[in-house]
């Protein structure tokens, strides 16, 4: 018998024991009761559970797990004491092999169901080299309570800040910083004005601390940070990102990608993939699929500081990178210059608008895009009107990927391969790389 972590509920309808049949997108387990589907989080296939309805619809209901009466063979005891309560992880209770199985299965089922893709075109998932301590950055939510200054994460589906003494997903150096910052801000008058602290570490183990501050003047806060033994770049962010003040260090982090390795710099607070080792696997996959011969024109949308752009540029005739973040474009240009890459041009602006205009690079042999979670549907419409022979789509959301692929697959593009990558162990999330070719055939494939 396994009792689950404490959680609040607005309902008192406790169901009879249920058996979990499968897992679904979002990470919950699926059971059935009197013809209705019941979604139960933090469960494994084969679990016999007791649960309570918290939200009921006509065809389905969402439930709170109260107790695991008979655990499935693939269930394990999570190493984190707040697993099941914390909103950061959904699958710590599953063995890593089981996590990989379900990520691959759910990803494949999404593309098959929504896009009509041949299952054989969805390749096996690439496991993360590190199951734990893989996160290179983290956002700590902060709160002052009777217990003092709390650093942690939101409880699942709430705004309640849970104290987390040590997170098994983040780099050990960031756990050490968390402990130091918790002590540093305890019993201070301005702690209530600190809603969040961002921590990051790069490939050289350099760390950075960004303290979000709601106060007007941060002199006292800055002095306290500078006097502490943090050995990190230090930034105070006054509300919006435009009001960031660097008080120690150069504010630059660096990652390594490509073969041979390129070193890419980016600003503290800028975007880099969370799992640095797995990011190198992503870049390697894109380079392999691209099969560049040195004669191609390549466009990289949502290019950031050059994560895919610069490794691709070394193998292409010309590369154009487009990104709407001015600071990321600035670093992309600097990274190209430092690496001696002269055939890459970077432009700041909305990817959808600049690419659709086709004024920056009218003859495109390969399009690479790595959009945010919301996807790139407007870009897909442009690709239908002005086809590109090869497209590589890097996605962090299988649902928006499936939506975006549909217009391409109905208008002459063929899906050659799609492969999920486990960028986020202990969660249901996965990254993916999908490769398409334009067939110039109105009958199309995968329709």
In the DSSP assignment, the letter for residue 17 is P
CA distance 352 to 369: 11
**Reduced 3-state DSSP string for 232-244:** CEEEEEECCHHHE
What the block records as the tokens of 6 is 């404490």
What the block records as the tokens of 129 is 């080299």
Active site residue 396: yes
What the block records as the tokens of 127 is 């496991």
Residue in 391, 396, 432, 431 with CA at minimum distance from that of residue 408: 391
- 354: Cβ contacts below 8 Å, ≥ 6 apart: 322, 347, 360
Residue in 420, 414, 421 with CA at minimum distance from that of residue 435: 414
H-run or E-run covering 97: helix 96-115
Q: Which residue's structure tokens are 């797990």?
A: 65
Active-site option among 51, 80, 396, 430: 396
CA distance 87 to 161: 10
CA distance 342 to 284: 22
Residue in 349, 356, 437 with CA at minimum distance from that of residue 389: 437
CA distance 83 to 132: 14
CA distance 224 to 202: 24
- Annotated catalytic sites, by residue? 396
């Amino acid at each position: 018998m396994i009792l689950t972590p404490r959680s609040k509920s607005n309902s008192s309808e406790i169901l009879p024991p249920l058996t979990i049949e499968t897992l679904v997108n979002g990470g919950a387990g699926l059971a059935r009761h009197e013809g209705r589907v019941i979604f139960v989080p933090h469960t494994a296939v084969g679990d016999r559970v007791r649960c309570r309805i918290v939200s009921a619809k006509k065809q389905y209901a969402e439930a709170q797990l109260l107790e695991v009466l008979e655990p499935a063979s693939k269930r394990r005891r999570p190493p984190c004491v707040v697993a099941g309560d914390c909103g950061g992880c959904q699958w710590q209770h599953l063995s890593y092999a089981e996590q990989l199985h379900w990520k691959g299965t759910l990803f494949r089922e999404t593309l098959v169901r929504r896009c009509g893709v041949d299952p054989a075109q969805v390749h096996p998932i690439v496991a993360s080299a590190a199951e734990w301590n893989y996160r290179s950055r983290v956002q700590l939510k902060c709160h002052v309570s009777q217990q003092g200054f709390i650093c942690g994460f939101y409880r699942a589906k709430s705004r309640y800040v849970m104290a987390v003494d040590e997170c098994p997903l983040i780099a050990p150096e960031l756990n050490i910083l968390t402990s130091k910052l918790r002590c540093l801000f305890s019993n201070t008058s301005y702690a209530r004005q600190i809603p969040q602290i961002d921590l990051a570490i790069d490939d050289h183990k350099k760390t950075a601390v960004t303290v979000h501050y709601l106060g007007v003047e941060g002199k006292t806060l800055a002095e306290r940070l500078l006097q502490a033994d943090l050995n990190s770049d230090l930034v105070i962010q006054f509300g919006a990102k435009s009001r960031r003040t660097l008080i120690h260090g150069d504010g630059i982090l660096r990652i390594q990608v490509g073969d041979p390795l390129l070193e890419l710099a980016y600003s503290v607070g800028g975007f880099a993939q969370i799992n640095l080792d797995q990011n190198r696997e992503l870049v390697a996959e894109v380079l392999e699929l691209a099969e560049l011969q040195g004669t191609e024109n390549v466009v990289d949308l949502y290019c950031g500081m050059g994560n895919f752009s610069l490794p691709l540029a070394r193998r292409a005739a010309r590369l154009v990178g487009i990104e709407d973040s001015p600071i990321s474009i600035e670093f992309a240009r600097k990274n190209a210059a430092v690496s001696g890459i002269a055939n890459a041009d970077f432009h700041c602006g909305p990817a959808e608008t600049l690419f659709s205009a086709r004024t920056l690079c009218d003859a495109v042999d390969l399009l690479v895009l790595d959009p945010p979670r919301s996807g790139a549907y407007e870009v897909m419409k442009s690709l239908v009107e002005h086809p590109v022979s090869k497209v590589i789509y890097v996605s962090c959301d299988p649902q928006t990927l499936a939506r975006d692929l549909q217009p391409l697959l109905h208008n002459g593009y063929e899906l050659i391969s799609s492969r999920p990558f486990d960028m986020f162990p202990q969660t249901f999330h996965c990254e993916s790389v999908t490769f398409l070719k334009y067939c110039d055939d109105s009958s199309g494939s995968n329709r």
